[in-house]
Amino acid sequence: SYYTRALPPVPEDCPTPMGTKGHKELPSPEYLAQTFLARTTFLPDTRRRTNVLFGFMAQHFTHQFFKTDFKKGPGRTWSDHAVDMSQVYGETVGRQQQLRTFKDGKLKHQLVDGEVFPPSLQDAPV
C-alpha cells in the first residue's frame, strides 16, 4: 500500500501503536484538536494568501492517493499515482454520467436562494 512506502510495518504484537518506542497509547483526537487547532484569540491572515477551505482541499487532494481496497484489506489501495479527481467526477462511468449535465462540460448542480450547490441525492443518486 501507499502507507508502507512512508512507514515501516508495525508488528501486531508491538507494545506501542507507533513502534517499539513511545507512548503506550495514542493521544485522543479531542486533545490533538484542542492542542493544535483551537484558537483562543482571533489572528487575521494579513497576507491574504489562504482561507479555511485550504484544509478541505488538502484533504480532498490527499484522499486521491489513499483509496482503500476493503476486499483486499485495510493496508491495500486501488489507486495509482495519478490525480484523477474521482471524488468529484466519480470513479466509474456510471457515476460520472449521473453527475454530468452533458452541456458545456458542466457538472449537475442545484440553485438554492440564487447560490449554486451540488445536486441532491434525488437528482444524482451516487
Position 30 scores a pLDDT of 92
Rg from Cα positions in the chain: 20
**Entry pTM:** 0.39
* Alpha-carbon distances, residue 115 vs 25, 59, 110 (angstroms): 46, 24, 8
Would you list the domain boundaries of the chain?
2-84, 96-126
CA 77 – CA 2 distance, rounded (Å): 7
Place of cell 449521473: 98
CA 62 – CA 65 distance, rounded (Å): 6
Position 79 scores a pLDDT of 65
Cα four-point dihedral sign 104, 110, 112, 117: negative
* Alpha-carbon distances, residue 36 vs 14, 29, 60, 87, 122 (angstroms): 28, 10, 20, 28, 39
pLDDT in tens, the chain (126 residues): 454 456 666 677 777 766 666 677 778 889 988 998 888 888 777 877 777 778 878 887 777 667 777 787 766 766 666 666 776 777 788 888 888 889 998 888 899 898 888 888 887 776
Position 3 scores a pLDDT of 47
